[in-house]
Amino acid sequence: MKSNQLALTFSSIAENVGIARLLIASVGAQLDLPLNDIEELKVAVSEAVSNAIIHGYHNRSNHIVYLELEVTDSTLKIVVKDEGCGIPNVEQAMQPAFSTDPERMGLGFVFMQSFMDDLQVDSTVDIGTTVTMKKQLKQTSNASH
C-alpha cells in the first residue's frame, strides 16, 4: 500500500460537508475498506466538518475549513481544522449529549470516538480547533489477516 497525503481547503458553507464526505469516501474505496467502514468514516468527517462550520465559525460562510488526510501502511489519519472560536472546556464538550446549542443532540464527538480508533481534540479559545482522528488499517500484504 502506497502512502498518500491529501488536503482540501474550503469555505465554511454547509454544501462543502458533502464534498468532504466524497473525498473521504474515495480514499476509503481506494483502500478497499468495507462499505460499512466507509460509511463510518463519512459520518466522522461530516461531524467534525459540521462542528467547524456551525460551532467554530457560528455558521458564517466567510471562513476556511481545512481537511487533511494522510494514509500510511498502517493508518488513515484525518485532521479537521478551523480557526474559529475554540472550545473552552474540551473534556466537557466531548461528553455524550453535551451541546452548547439546545437544538442539537451533542453526539458528534461520540460518533467520532466510536467510529475511529483514536480521537484527539486540540482547541484554544479564539484561536481555533483541530480534530485529529485515526483509523488503523488492516495489513493485507502478508499472509496474516
Rounded Cα gap, residues 96 and 78, in angstroms = 22
Of 28, 56, 84, 108, which lies in the binding site for Mg ion, with binding defined by CB under 5 A? 108
CB of 61 to ligand ADP, least distance (A): 16
Cell digits of residue 106: 451533542
- Is the Cβ–Cβ distance between 119 and 133 less than 8 Å? yes
Lay out the site mask for Mg ion across 37-66 (x = CB under 5 A, - = otherwise): --------------x---------------
The total of other beta-carbon atoms located within 10 Å of residue 90's CB is 15
Catalytic residue list contains 21: no
| 27 or 80: CB nearest ligand ADP | 80
Rounded Cα gap, residues 52 and 64, in angstroms = 9
CB of 117 to ligand ADP, least distance (A): 18
Give φ, ψ of 46 to 5 degrees.
-55, -45
Q: Rounded to the nearest 5 degrees, what angle is found at the Cα of 109, between the Cα atoms of 130 and 74?
A: 65
If binding is defined by CB under 6 A, does position 85 make contact with ligand ADP? Answer: yes
Catalytic residue list contains 91: no
The one-letter amino acid at 117: D
91 binds, among Mg ion, ligand ADP, none (CB under 5 to 8 A by kind): none
Cell digits of residue 110: 461520540
Of 33, 49, 56, 135, which lies in the binding site for ligand ADP, with binding defined by CB under 6 A? 56
Residue positions annotated with a catalytic role: 47, 51, 104
Residues in the site for ligand ADP, rule: CB under 6 A? 47, 51-52, 55-56, 82, 84-87, 93, 98-101, 104-109, 129
